[in-house]
Structure 1
Amino acid sequence: MEKNDIINFKALEKELQAALAADEKYKRENAAKLRAVEQRVPSYEEFRGIVLASHLKPLERKDKMGGKRTVLWNCHSTPGRTFQDVATQIFQALSSSALLCQPSPPAGMSLAHTTMFLWTWVSLQAFEIVEKENIFQSTPCPAFLMFDNAAYLADMSFELPCHCKPEEVLSVVWYYQKQLGSSHTKVLTDFDGRLLTEASHVRVGSDMLVRFSIRMFSLLVFRAQPEDSGLYFCGTRNGDYFYAYDVDIQSNDGMVATFKDEGQEPFADEHHGSLHVFTTFWEWTPCDRCGVRGEQWRIGLCYLKSPNLSPRYQKTVPDVVSCGSHAVPRKLRTMAQYHLPELQIQSCLVPCEKTQIQEGMPAIYSYMSKVGSKPWIPQVPIQFHQQSLGHGLIISCPGARPEHAVAWDKDHEQLYRRQYLIGVNRSMRVFIDHGNQLHIRFTQMSDRGIYYCWRQGVRIAGFRLGVKSEGHYPASLLDPETRSAVVLTLLAYLLIVVVFVIIQLCRCCCYCCGCCPNISL
């Protein structure tokens, strides 16, 4: 046997220990990354600090100052080790003290068994497949910038993660374009994520520049509108792009509702040659009430399938994208524009969860009821509002979003969507819109009462509405009724002017031709 064929057991053992240390280091740091994401750390510096300190162990009672220390508190660090040494690969940074943390082979293992084990491990190392996950690079990054298609309903909030971002990039900038290659580009940045926007502070109809936030490199857009449809790019201030999205916000105007209990079926699929237009439904919401008959629904968005789509847009299903996607040619998009989003509703009945009986003030009230009349105790927080007679009112459920299961009650009467959903009756004065808001047009005295709000099957709040008829209500152009009155007045005046001009033109023509009798007005 030649010298080159002799097995170097020390080198094999050292390589085995290094591989075990590298695998342990990966598992430890990956667990630290997932733990940091669950804790929602506010900055990337804290996130990285948690990952780099994942090898530290807490002190125990037996660890005393000056005592004999048999276990290293920080077995992955050595004196004189710098930050760059920690960040390098384990095979370059591994030192002798790190190897002390690994268990040594049992003394009883024979040399033959050790040799066989090391030789088998080296042979199988070439066939080893290790599935490792990186939270920043879990999505494969194409060499050419692609667009990931995503569809939402209007008034919803959505989040776009920044995939393919290198770990050395500490801040990102989002860009928005209405059309690919457009000269008008919006730069969406909130000072490296230090300015946070809450959904409860966003007003309906406000500009997108005040309805977004960047958290952990992800873009959050609140109360999205159809005008927000377009292309979103994640990149840096220097114009380097990592990932892009093709976002389609479908309008809820004209949204069709079908009631499953009445035997109504959703829209049938449309076929125009190779174009297939259909509706994709989300999951059913939970029952919006408990203890009484409630309702649950699911939202359906418009999708189409065609082989003539642009190959630059990624599809979850081959040749399938949302109807408003930029991957759809203009001709095909025109053919699918009449396929509107749908809302399917059905009845449900679930029991309420048992809650513990509260003690304290209710107990005092119960005792006081033996002496006199028992005072009224609200079960949920009640907000009082005074509304002028004849003016409109919109009530929103606290913390509710369009995708939540929200229900409304007036005193002891349930306001079911079967009768109060917008669009069921054109002459509705009280209705619920697709954003789960309760509308009262031209408030009347009969509208007085307590309106309870249910969210995800739990009654969470109440609004006590009072209607007043006295007092002068100041007119303002911000009032919808005032704007409607002004518009109707101007339209009527314009119509009178047009009719007057047409009559004068006709008289002038008749006078010139001499074919009209002399009619004195």
Structure 2
Amino acid sequence: MNTLILINILTITHSVMDNSFQDPGLQQLMDKISPYKAVQRHSRVKRKVSKFFGSKGDIKGAVKDEFEEYEKCLNEREKERKSKSNTIHGLLALEGQKIRLNCNLCPRPDQEFNKLEIVDWQRLRPQDSDFTFVNENGRIRIDKGTRDLILDPVDVLDAGQYFCINTYYREYEEIYQLDVLFRERLKTTKYEDVQNGTDKFLPPFMLTEHNLKAFTVWSDWTDCQECNKQSIRKRVGLCMVNKIKPELPILPYDLPVMELYPSGVPCRSTVLSKDLASIKRIKMRRSEVSLASCYMDCPTTPGYTVITDKTGNVSEIVEAGFYSLKSKPKLPRMIIRRVLFEPVNKHLILACPKGGEKSKALIRWRNNTIVLNPLTIRRKTRGRVFMDSINRLHIRRLRKSDSAPYNCWKSTTLIATIKVIVTDANNDTKVKEIITYTGLCLTIFSIFLICVCTFCKKKKKTAK
């Protein structure tokens, strides 16, 4: 299939983002710049028969429901195939994010979905427009249960078009255009300084000679970092590029795919051509982070709860912090604990693991009991320690003094504790050398013993 044909029928939908993506501001911003919401294209046929162990009537009804869902799925698929335009899902992701590409099928009710081997994933290589099969490795894998393609973490080199292929019918089930944003150092601005006039946000500008304009799209504010004390909240501004006059081409070389992004294209997008991305004013314009002071009250402690029976009589009074004897308590989420052994001078990146439900709470890091303030930590450490746009903690040129437990918090909830132990790089080399030389000596000694034993046996035979 020709690449140009695929681009011409491209439409943009909301990107498929995993819940482990830990920056609510950027995640909300991705939703904002995507013109269409993500819709599950085909609901898979649910298996209901295995859940029934009752009467024949129940099993018969479950089988009937499965075949009705299967028929509905086929009708929806046929309706889409007969439609005038095919849809390619445009996915917008940040480097380092986990991405799942869904391959929605309509399996027959008598087929076990996890045993389907009729699905392959192919990728269109942008350098030569050639199709290659996607090979699994530690970072890229295919879900055995759903046949979805998972990229964890996604890399800039993964950008391109992906095809979920039904090899039995030789048809494309789903087509995706994956766009990965480059990492960049964000311009940090205090909201109070903007109000006082001592600082300002980057203003939009026009490049009339190219029919382009650059501007910033802002996310909503996150929740306050802590409650019952003066804290901070954050919002992210993404640098965007769009046409000034949509009906006119971009100069000197037009980019047809821009017409399919009505909200614009991020300045660090892989969709943007090298000629446009290298324009000095676009290249030098940075995305922004705005930090503001805030205060939020902590949740109040609920009062006692009165539990009554069917007749309305009080059977139990449960005070705050206690649970009823008639219901199982909801256990708190387990804290993730990890230990990392890292050599001196390494660039260490700590990411907060997935924890809890989605919220606007800001991720914050602590070094033991010391709160790492994203506003001042870079300046205090002269750029050696900082936090990036998705709240990962970077420690450059590791020192032995960096050995400590690092705690990742979301609002008032501790998500994970990562204990970092910094070791001498020379020690690792010495240990490897000792193991190597010991193994070599044992090998030589074993060969010597074998030769001695063989010689002794021959000598005995000769003596006889």
Query: How many Å apart are 1:417 and its aligned residue?
Result: 0.5
Q: Encode CA deviations 1:145-181: one digit per residue, 9 max, x unaligned.
A: 5544332222112233346x56669653322234286
Q: Encode CA deviations 1:265-310: one digit per residue, 9 max, x unaligned.
A: 4432232123122333344444444454444333443432223376
| C-alpha RMSD of matched pairs (Å) | 5.2
Amino acid at match of 1:176: R
Structure 2 vs 1, CA of residues 281 and 88 (structure 1 numbering), >3 Å: closer, same or farther? Answer: closer
1:229 aligned partner: 159
Are the counterparts in 2 of residues 175 and 233 from structure 1 also a CA contact under 8 Å?
yes
Query: In the comparison of the two structures, how many residue pairs are matched?
Result: 334
In terms of mean alpha carbon deviation, does 325-334 or 342-351 score higher?
A: 325-334
1:17 aligned partner: none
- Verify: 1:473 aligned to 2:460, yes or no: no
Q: TM-score, normalised by structure 1?
A: 0.49
2:454 aligned partner: none
Equivalent of residue 460 in structure 1, options 399, 411, 415:
415
2:322 and 2:340 map into 1 onto residues whose CA distance is 28
Query: How many Å apart are 1:87 and its aligned residue?
Result: 5.9
Amino acid at match of 2:99: F
1:271 aligned partner: 206
2:69 and 2:355 map into 1 onto residues whose CA distance is 47
Q: Encode CA deviations 1:94-115: one digit per residue, 9 max, x unaligned.
A: xxxxxxxxxxxxxxxxxxxxxx
Query: How many Å apart are 1:390 and its aligned residue?
Result: 7.2
Describe the SS at the equivalent of 1:262: helix
2:78 and 2:291 map into 1 onto residues whose CA distance is 37
* Equivalent residues in 2 for 1:331-342, closer than 5 Å: 331-335=275-279, 336-342=282-288
Query: How many Å apart are 1:314 and its aligned residue?
Result: 7.9
1:413 aligned partner: 370
2:69 and 2:321 map into 1 onto residues whose CA distance is 59
2:238 and 2:78 map into 1 onto residues whose CA distance is 28
Equivalent of residue 101 in structure 2, options 132, 136, 160:
160
Are the counterparts in 1 of residues 345 and 396 from structure 2 also a CA contact under 8 Å?
no
Structure 2 vs 1, CA of residues 420 and 139 (structure 1 numbering), >3 Å: closer, same or farther? Answer: farther
2:100 and 2:188 map into 1 onto residues whose CA distance is 27
- Verify: 1:210 aligned to 2:210, yes or no: no
2:174 aligned partner: 243
1:304 and 1:74 map into 2 onto residues whose CA distance is 57
2:33 aligned partner: none
Amino acid at match of 2:289: L
1:173 aligned partner: 120
* Equivalent residues in 2 for 1:32-431, closer than 5 Å: 47-50=45-48, 143=84, 145-162=86-103, 171-179=118-126, 182-183=129-130, 185-188=131-134, 210-214=139-143, 216-237=146-167, 240-263=171-194, 264-273=199-208, 274-306=211-243, 307=246, 308=249, 315=260, 318=262, 320-323=264-267, 331-335=275-279, 336-353=282-299, 394-399=349-354, 405-421=362-378, 427-431=382-386
Describe the SS at the equivalent of 2:150: strand
Q: Encode CA deviations 1:219-259: one digit per residue, 9 max, x unaligned.
A: 33222222222222232337522432322211123333333
Unmatched runs of 5 consecutive residues or more in structure 2: 1-39, 302-319, 324-333, 433-464
2:336 and 2:100 map into 1 onto residues whose CA distance is 31
Identity of aligned residues (%): 18
Are the counterparts in 1 of residues 350 and 392 from structure 2 also a CA contact under 8 Å?
no
2:193 and 2:85 map into 1 onto residues whose CA distance is 50
The higher radius of gyration belongs to 1
2:99 and 2:223 map into 1 onto residues whose CA distance is 20
1:498 aligned partner: none
Q: Encode CA deviations 1:65-117: one digit per residue, 9 max, x unaligned.
A: 9xxxxxx667869xxxx99x956999xxxxxxxxxxxxxxxxxxxxxxxxxxx
Query: How many Å apart are 1:350 and its aligned residue?
Result: 3.4
More strand by share: 2
Query: How many Å apart are 1:384 and its aligned residue?
Result: 6.5
1:234 and 1:172 map into 2 onto residues whose CA distance is 7
Query: How many Å apart are 1:357 and its aligned residue?
Result: 5.9
Describe the SS at the equivalent of 2:406: strand
Amino acid at match of 1:350: M
Query: How many Å apart are 1:454 and its aligned residue?
Result: 0.8
| More relative contact order, 1 or 2 (CA 8 Å, 6+ apart) | 2
2:299 and 2:148 map into 1 onto residues whose CA distance is 36
Q: TM-score, normalised by structure 2?
A: 0.54
1:186 and 1:320 map into 2 onto residues whose CA distance is 30
